[in-house]
Amino acid sequence: MKTLMIIGFVFLGVALRAQDPKKILDKVDQNMSSENRMFESTMTIHGKRNSRSISSRSWSEGSQKSFTEYLSPASEKGTKMLKLEKQLWIYSPTTDRTIQISGHMLRQSVMGSDLSYEDMMEDRKLTDVYAAKLVGEEKIGDRNTWVLELTAVVEDIAYYKQKVWIDTEKYVPLRQELFAKSGQILKRMELQEVKMIESRWFPTLVIYKDMLKEGKGTEFRMTNIKFNVKIPDYIFTKAALKQ
């Protein structure tokens, strides 16, 4: 029995060494990142008493530009959000005004969800900002995953450490935990309903949970996803907010 266990551990060690975490992360980036993308989404925020859904349409180009238009409910319809590099503007149709979100306002949650404006602005490739270490293998549901520990290699990063569970076949993260420098867990994301879209695997449902707050989390479901489509330049301008 003891011998079997030793053999088992040796095999596991060999198997782990055989996988280059950087290559895994690279393949994850190939699936998750794109030059540009367009999608429609429904964000369901689970509160203490009830849940509410907000639908939107988004366009993004690389990690620096994105534009979101809220479609429903009626109270949010017409609200638009523009992100250009490190700046974020929101247009509200009820006041017909555009405001820039910065400073402590970036830490506020987006429409009561578990996502902050800051979270929405962090969209860099994992390989650009993290060094990966393979720390084990686990099963999530019926899927085999590699568990990677990511440590920041750049200084200007929001989350110093991440733990990511990567599907061994599809190379998409199925779970992500974001940590503070002190090691305190801050957020957890469960990525589900992985679908083949335009020759890449992509999770279409993400469940965000702010681990410091009470609540059941926020579901973010994407539909009509299109990668590498031509997006007109005017979309990423402040003028587009009022159109």
Q: For binding to another protein (CB under 8 A), which residues are involved? A: 102-104, 107-109, 152, 155-160, 178, 180-182, 184, 186, 210, 212-215
Residue with smaller CB distance to another protein, 14 or 154: 154
Buried b (16+ CB within 10 A) or exposed e, 2-21: eeeeeeeeeeeeeeeeeeeb
What is the closest distance, in whole angstroms, from the C-beta atom of residue 7 to another protein in the complex? Answer: 42
What is the closest distance, in whole angstroms, from the C-beta atom of residue 87 to another protein in the complex? Answer: 12
Copy the structure tokens of residue 207: 């469940």
Residue with smaller CB distance to another protein, 107 or 238: 107
Angle at 212 between CA 111 and CA 141, to 5 degrees: 90
Residue with smaller CB distance to another protein, 111 or 158: 158
How many Å apart are CA 107 and CA 94, to the nearest integer? 23
Residue with smaller CB distance to another protein, 69 or 210: 210
What is the closest distance, in whole angstroms, from the C-beta atom of residue 47 to another protein in the complex? Answer: 13
Q: Compute the chain's Rg from CA coordinates.
A: 19
What is the closest distance, in whole angstroms, from the C-beta atom of residue 121 to another protein in the complex? Answer: 10
Residue with smaller CB distance to another protein, 155 or 233: 155
Sign, Cα dihedral of 40, 204, 164, 107: positive
How many Å apart are CA 56 and CA 42, to the nearest integer? 6
Give residue 94's Cα distance to chain centre: 29
What is the closest distance, in whole angstroms, from the C-beta atom of residue 176 to another protein in the complex? Answer: 15
